[in-house]
C-alpha cells in the first residue's frame, strides 16, 4: 500500500488551486548608504538611552552621576531628561575605542 501512495500523490479537493510562486532572487546589497530618515527622533530620555546602550535605567542614572563623559541632559519643554541620540552613540563608540586600545596594549 505504501508503494501506491508514493506513485499516486493524494489529490486536493475542489477549490482554489495553490499559487505557484517564482523563485525570488536574493536582494543585492547596495553600496550606497541609505539617507537618514528625516522623521527619526533626535532626542531620547533615560529609558531610550538605556535601550541604545543595552543597560537599565538605574545604570543610566549611575552613569549620570559618576561618568563625566556621559552626555548631559537638557530641557525640552518641561522635561529636563532629554539627550541627543547622536551623543549617546558617540559615547558608546568612544568607550568601545578606549576599551579596544587598553585591551590591545
Fold held by 41-105: Multidrug-efflux Transporter Regulator; Chain: A; Domain 2 (1.10.1660)
Would you write out the chain's pLDDT as a tens digit for each of its 105 residues?
556 556 666 666 677 767 777 776 666 655 655 566 778 788 999 999 999 999 999 999 999 999 999 999 998 888 778 999 999 999 999 999 999 998 765
H helix or E strand, kind and range, residue 94 = helix 85-104
Tell me if residue 27 falls in helix, strand or coil: coil
Tell me if residue 3 falls in helix, strand or coil: helix
pTM, whole model, 2 decimals? 0.60
Q: Per-residue DSSP letters for 31-42?
A: SSPPPPPTTS-S
Domain-wise residue ranges, the chain: 41-105
The maximal CA–CA distance of the chain, rounded, in angstroms, is 78
Evaluate whether 26 touches 37 at the Cβ level (below 8 Å): no
Amino acid at each position: 500500500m505504501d508503494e501506491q501512495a508514493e506513485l499516486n500523490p493524494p489529490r486536493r479537493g475542489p477549490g482554489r488551486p495553490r499559487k505557484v510562486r517564482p523563485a525570488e532572487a536574493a536582494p543585492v546589497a547596495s553600496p550606497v548608504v541609505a539617507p537618514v530618515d528625516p522623521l527619526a527622533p533626535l532626542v531620547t530620555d533615560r529609558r531610550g538611552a538605556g535601550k541604545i546602550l543595552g543597560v537599565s535605567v538605574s545604570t543610566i542614572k549611575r552613569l549620570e552621576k559618576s561618568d563625566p563623559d556621559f552626555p548631559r541632559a537638557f530641557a525640552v519643554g518641561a522635561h529636563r531628561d532629554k539627550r541627543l541620540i547622536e551623543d549617546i552613540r558617540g559615547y558608546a563608540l568612544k568607550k568601545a575605542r578606549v576599551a579596544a586600545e587598553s585591551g590591545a596594549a
